[in-house]
Amino acid sequence: MLEADRNQFVIKSPRVLVTRSSRQASQLADQLRAAGAEPILIPAIELAEPTSYSALDQALERLEAFDWLLFTSANAVEFFARRMALVRTGLPSGPKVAAIGAATAHALEAVGWRADLIPPQAVAESLAEALLPHARRPDGSASHLLLLRAEVAREILPDTLRSAGAEVTVAPVYRNIVPERSIAAMGEIFSSRAQWPDAITFTSSSTVTNLLVLLETAGLRLPQEIPRISIGPITSQTLCDLGLPPHAEAAEPNLKSLVAAVMERWGQQEQTRDSIERQRLGQ
């Protein structure tokens, strides 16, 4: 009987909740599967058009007047390119283009544009620092920067650049909303401990706040003991602010590092379980 108990103890694949929007979830899901995990796709955010296109349309009419176009996500690139196609043909040659990170730069390449500046880290603080030397033109006058971003976002980037003397125009190109269709699925997976995921991935502050909204709507709370894996410091700070500090954070703010953090955390948990099981069996 003792030998049978030992043979029954096997390492399983972790079930990982992916909270990204449905249009973005597949890439993370594929990487999780490749690493040996079982992804559970229930979006906590959905991308939608901004409440108003007024600021963006006005900016599109005078793109030549800007020194820099700033893209803070691949989503911003996609929604900007889609709207621009309705208003004008192509980017003017004058403005330079800044991308917050590699994923955003790749999105630019996908629509035929190239990033002239990519900061060392894919966070607003790093982008702001990289742009500080460009806050003013060579003659000392203010540079004109167009910031393309989500409708609700942190103000650290425009505030920092304005403090350095730049003129920053903020044009929302999309917004994050709570997908109501996810309420039932979230309710099902969190209503029974047996259905809980082994880990939850958070790829933005919106995935954190929206997941909590979905659970609250379903009459549930997020179980504290389920490992929360964050993609980077901004998302981690949001978790901390809500009293839900991450159990692990990606070494770099990208999907590859996020998957590595998930699997490393799972490996640690399995080692602990293995140790406890061996002690129980007298090994």
Strands annotated E in the chain:
15-18, 38-41, 46-48, 68-71, 96-99, 144-150, 167-177, 199-202, 228-230, 248-249
Greater model confidence, 272 or 69: 69
> Is the pLDDT score of 241 beyond 60?
yes
What are the sequence ranges of the domains in the chain? Answer: 2-45+179-281, 49-177
Contact of 125 with 149, CB cutoff 8 Å: no
Tokens found for residue 34: 């490749």
> Is the pLDDT score of 272 beyond 80?
no
- Band (pLDDT 50/70/90 cuts) for residue 282 is low
Give 93-105 pLDDT, tens digit per residue: 889 999 999 999 9
Domain made up of 2-45+179-281: CATH architecture: 3-Layer(aba) Sandwich (3.40)
Q: How confident is the model over 214-223, as a mean pLDDT?
A: 94
Question: From CA 142, how far away is CA 164, in angstroms rounded?
Answer: 9
End-to-end Cα distance, the chain? 14
**Phi and psi at residue 81, to the nearest 5°:** -60, -40
Question: From CA 242, how far away is CA 239, in angstroms rounded?
Answer: 5
Give 110-162 pLDDT, tens digit per residue: 999 999 999 999 899 999 999 999 999 999 999 999 999 999 999 999 999 99
- Band (pLDDT 50/70/90 cuts) for residue 2 is very low
Prediction pTM value:
0.81
Of 26, 42, 52, give the one whose Cα is nearest residue 175. Answer: 52
> Is the pLDDT score of 283 beyond 60?
no
Do 2-45+179-281 and 49-177 have matching folds?
A: yes
> Is the pLDDT score of 276 beyond 90?
no
Domain 49-177: CATH class, spelled out: alpha beta
